[in-house]
Amino acid sequence: MTSSDGVTVAVHDLGAAAGAIGGDGGDVVMAHATGLHARVWQPVATQLADEFRCVAFDQRGHGDSGEPPGADFDWRGFGRDALAVIAGLGLHRPFGVGHSSGAAGLLLAEEAAPGTFAALYCYEPIVVPADPPLGRDEANWLAAGARRRRATFASREQALEHYRGKGPFRSWSPDALRLYVEYGFVDVAGGGVALKCRPENEALVYEMATANDCFARLDQVRCPVHLVQGSDTDGLSPATVEAMEARLPVVTTEVIPGLSHFGPAEDPPAVAASIRSFLSAAGRP
């Protein structure tokens, strides 16, 4: 399917116990974090499949989705990607589940088209509490790290061994890490594999984190929102959560013990249980 500015968005059906996506309620649209891809949600979706029908999409410049024209990674484009998925699948007020920039993208989608979601589960949404927005941050330290990221390996097996036990990946579940490598690389002509999300694109996404107006328009998000943190996170401060909480009309918060900013990939059963609890309380659309 295609987003509003001509970006082709790849969508993945992560499975359900009954029926196809687009049935009577229980549809969940999942959005991933920067540098990842939709399939990393699979271990969480599997835990929810008895009750919910889950789809996830690759954000622009990630996975199998296209890159935006002119490498424009304004985060409002992530919101347009989510709206394109919902319209393309014919979903009526699905639930949204997002992680990091993916969660921010879902909030931006709801701001752009109020009433799109029945409820939003946001695991550590990257929403900078600034009104007006600060603008692009070319000195972003995450962007500098992304540009140094190794982009090619001799094989997926070599990539998996490289990531295992290293940096933030050391706490990931084996299934999530395997899926990240399996679907996050493309075969290269002549041998080897390369990251689908190019380091330069990842860096540009980080630089644009401070340039959108998501925080300024949070009062327009009328559906229930659940803000979730890991207890061991360094990705979302209590002050930011409090600032978001003060602006959102219908909001609850939760801290999941033992998890970092990458909680959905670290303990899929725990995050799935948290999602199930919130969505069940929020009710069907």
Residues 176-220 pLDDT 10s: 999 999 999 999 999 999 999 999 999 999 999 999 999 999 999
Contact 63, 197 (CB under 8 A): yes
3-state DSSP assignment of residue 284? coil
Which 8-state DSSP code applies to residue 226? E
How confident is the prediction for the chain on average, in pLDDT? Answer: 94
Mean pLDDT of 61-89: 97
Confidence of residue 284 (pLDDT cuts 50, 70, 90): low
Q: Dihedral (C-alpha) 169, 171, 176, 179: value to the nearest 10 degrees?
A: 30
Count of beta carbons in the 10 Å neighbourhood of residue 35: 22
For 11-138+208-282, the fitting CATH number among 1.10.10.60, 3.30.70.2190, 3.40.50.1820, 3.40.50.10490 is 3.40.50.1820
Where do the structural domains in the chain lie, given as residue ranges? 11-138+208-282
Nearest to 192 by CA among 147, 168, 162: 162
pLDDT tens digits, 122-157: 999 999 999 999 999 999 999 999 999 999 999 999
**pLDDT on residue 165:** 84
The reply to whether the predicted model has a pTM over 0.75 is: yes
